[in-house]
Amino acid sequence: MEKITADEAAQLVQDGDAILISGSGGGHAVPEALLAAVERRFLAEGKPRGLTSVSIVGVGDRAALGASHLAHEGLLKRAITSALVDSPGLVTLAAENKIEAYTLPQGALSQLMRDMAAGRPGLITKTGLNTFVDPRHQGARQSARTPADFVEVINLAGEEWLLFKPVPVTVAFLRGTTADEDGNVTMEEEAVLGEMLAMAQATRRAGGIVIVQVKRMAKRNTLHGKHVKIPGILVDFVVVDREQRQTYATYYDPSYSGELRIPNDDISALPFGPRKVIVRRAARGFRRLWRKRDCSTRSS
């Protein structure tokens, strides 16, 4: 493992690379410093060009951060994610038919990382069958120039399934909280863990490089083994960003990372409106599911 700067990491990205990006909307575990460095390099040098971005969840602040750093014509060729809305720059490029863009089920993309890590030919699932994801309909495409070959209909055991094909990723931009001198990474301050391990494994299996952005460094052999989420054997480079925020809205909130639970009385009540109605309906659904599970457990 080698410790480098964000700008040095950006220099490692080559024309045509496919970058696997961790995190989710709102800045949760998003390697913001790495994405910003790629944008800086492109604006200064006109390189790299023709990139593919792959993220399980839409990453960004619905303005200029996250994947929107890559939203420059020429820099980005293709975007693969479950939502473009968190990165308006990508929405604009797709709407103007300047990039290829796919929006696929988040769960399918998550499981695809595991299958890519295992070297399987893709993810076989019924999720998305006969919907806009099905290639006989829209094929999950969000621009006219996007090929319809990412998802394929196959017949297995007399039934139709969808095959989500692997992406030949060449670079992974991941994020943790602490890295030791051997590249072992922990995530004690992160709000979400996501698919970090599978993404690192998938990238290394494809022969790519894994770059992890962290907040701080630790001496080797001092991190608790059970807290390591990305083993150093999978990490090529570490970038330290001491200003790393837990989310775009918070520097660090211990309740987000599970360090503590806030008393109910300290949580501000949500004003009545559409959001509150949606939350109430969702909570009732969880309650019904929990009762069903409880009854099933007792009967068994």
Q: In the structure encoding, which two tokens stand for residue 188, read together?
A: 């004690």
Q: In the structure encoding, which two tokens stand for residue 240, read together?
A: 């330290």
Element (H, E) at 81: strand 76-81
Per-residue confidence in pLDDT tens, the chain, 300 aa: 999 999 999 999 999 999 999 999 899 999 999 999 999 999 999 999 999 999 999 999 999 999 999 999 999 999 999 999 999 999 999 999 999 999 999 999 999 999 999 999 999 999 999 999 999 999 999 999 999 889 999 999 999 999 999 999 999 999 999 999 999 999 999 999 999 999 999 999 999 999 999 999 999 999 999 999 999 999 999 999 999 999 999 999 999 999 999 998 888 888 999 999 999 998 888 877 777 666 665 555
Superfamily in which the 1-267 domain is placed by CATH: Glutaconate Coenzyme A-transferase (3.40.1080.10)
Q: How far apart are CA 133 and CA 140, in angstroms?
A: 4
Domain borders along the chain are: 1-267, 270-299
Are 177 and 215 in contact, with CB atoms under 8 Å apart? yes
Q: Are strands 151-156 and 123-125 parallel, antiparallel or unpaired?
A: unpaired
From 169, 290, 184, select the one nearest 231 (Cα to Cα): 184
State phi, psi for 249 to the nearest 5 degrees.
Answer: -100, -20
What is the identity of the amino acid at 86? D
